[in-house]
């Protein structure tokens, strides 16, 4: 399974108009707070690994209907072109306790990424309007495919064009990377 | 809150008779599989810390009625006489994934402790009949108190005597310690 993902800076007000005009369907709205940790015995920024604790609140009509916490490990890229990584993720009952365990065994929180994310469905793609604290507004177009990564990426570009966004403005840096000061590339 | 705990090697058949004669109440029966990890940057055996992943199956009439997985960090003793430690514990959805995360971030499984534990209630104490793989049969008498540790320990000794067990045979080594070859003390 490959995840194709294209991210561009974009003003949400404009995109919303295009989403409505395109009959996109709203899927949900969530708030995510991600804590990223660094390991005590190596630098995850150098080894291209990540340990993340994500607390997500799901909203319906401005009310929180569900809160979940998941812990995720992402391994280094094993294939550059398809961006394939080893990934393990499981839910945990209590985010604060899990954070305390991570810190107690030596992992240091290095950054917190807070965002509001509205998900829509359009032409088989997931369109996310992300408002990220400290960084601003973005649109992300995403799909999972078994094969045909290039065609899927072209399809994501088409979705962006439909939303009046130029795919050439694509940003490859993660939100974490941007918050840690990496240039947008 | 102090946890007072006294453990003795004992043949379960004999104890069961005494428990019945004493009108002890069976609380539950569980199977626990504990994986202990060591840290990549220090030796938890030396720092007196522990990271443990416990999978517990609860039985009722020989049927599994519940399965839970919890991850626990135990800090070093902060008070020798009361055996007080910092402890963080939370449930996780998927034990195998949590194990994969622990190993991926550098923690090495050092030992697995498997036991069947039957819990009874007697005179305000929890009496556990533990059958530990590779170690044999034990009885553990336990209570949590806000204060009065010495009196609670004397009470635990009384419960053991009631079960025809000599408190002087108390073992202070943990099951993990015994499995790793520490002498029973």
DSSP state of A124: T
- C-alpha closest to that of A35 among A87, A84, A107: A107
Could B91 and A94 be called an inter-chain contact, meaning their C-beta atoms sit closer than 8 Å?
yes
**pLDDT per residue over B154-168, tens digit each?**
999 999 999 999 999
Do B88 and A71 make contact, defined as CB atoms within 8 angstroms?
Answer: no
Cβ(A72)–Cβ(B64) under 8 Å? no
Which is higher by pLDDT, B182 or A28? A28
Pairing type for strands B25-38 and B2-9 reads: unpaired
Residues of chain B above pLDDT 90, percent: 79
Alpha carbon of A49: minimum distance to chain B alpha carbons (Å): 9
- The size of the A-B interface in CB pairs under 8 A is 75
Q: Are strands B25-38 and B108-122 parallel, antiparallel or unpaired?
A: antiparallel
Rounded CA gap, B115 and A71, in Å? 28
The DSSP result for B123-162, as a single string, is TTEEEEEEEETTTEEEEEEEEEESS-HHHHHHHHHHHHHH
- List of chain A residues whose C-beta atoms are within 8 Å of the C-beta of residue B100: 73, 88
Q: Which CATH number fits domain A2-179: 1.10.3760.10, 2.40.50.100, 1.10.287.40, 2.40.320.10?
A: 2.40.320.10
pLDDT at A61: 82
**Which of B73, B91, B92 has its CB closest to that of A105?**
B73
Q: How far apart are CA B84 and CA B77, in angstroms?
A: 6
pLDDT of B81: 63
Work out the minimum CA distance from A44 to partner chain B, whole angstroms: 10
pLDDT > 90? residue A181: no
Cα-flanking dihedrals φ and ψ of residue A35, to 5°?
Answer: -105, 125
Handedness of CA B53, B26, B15, B23 (dihedral sign): positive
Q: Which residues contact A17 (CB under 8 A, 6 or more apart)?
A: none
Q: Which residues of B are catalytic?
A: 36
B82 has a pLDDT exceeding 70: no
The answer on pLDDT for A82 being more than 70 is no
Burial of A80 (0-12, 13-18, 19+ CB in 10 A): exposed
Task: Tell me the per-residue pLDDT of A124-146, one tens digit each, with 9 for 90 and over.
Answer: 999 999 999 999 999 999 999 98
Mean pLDDT across the stretch B96-102?
A: 98
Q: Residues B34, A33: contact at Cβ < 8 Å?
A: no
Beta strands in B16-150 (DSSP E): 25-38, 50-60, 63-79, 84-92, 108-122, 125-132, 136-145
Closest by Cβ to B92, choosing from A86, A90, A107: A90
The three-state secondary structure class of A31 is strand
Domain ranges of chain A: 2-179
Enumerate chain B positions whose Cβ falls within 8 A of a Cβ in A. 39-42, 49, 51, 71-73, 75, 86, 88-94, 97-98, 100-101, 104-107
């Amino acid at each position: 399974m490959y995840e194709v993902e294209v991210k561009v800076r974009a003003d949400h007000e404009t995109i919303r108009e295009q989403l409505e005009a395109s009959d996109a369907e709203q899927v949900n709205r969530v708030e995510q707070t991600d804590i990223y940790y660094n390991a005590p015995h190596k630098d995850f920024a150098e080894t291209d690994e990540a340990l993340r604790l994500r607390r997500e609140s799901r909203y319906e009509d401005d009310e929180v209907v569900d809160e979940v916490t998941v812990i995720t490990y992402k391994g280094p890229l094993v294939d550059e072109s398809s961006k394939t990584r080893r990934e393990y993720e499981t839910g945990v009952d209590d985010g604060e306790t899990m954070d305390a365990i991570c810190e107690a065994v030596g992992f240091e929180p290095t950054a917190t990424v807070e965002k509001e994310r509205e998900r829509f469905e359009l032409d088989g793609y997931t369109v996310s309007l992300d408002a990220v604290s400290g960084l601003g507004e973005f649109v992300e177009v995403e799909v999972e495919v078994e094969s045909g990564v290039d065609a899927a990426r072209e399809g994501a570009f088409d979705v962006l064009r439909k939303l009046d966004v130029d795919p050439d403005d694509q940003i490859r840096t993660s939100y974490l990377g941007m918050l840690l000061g990496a240039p947008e590339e």
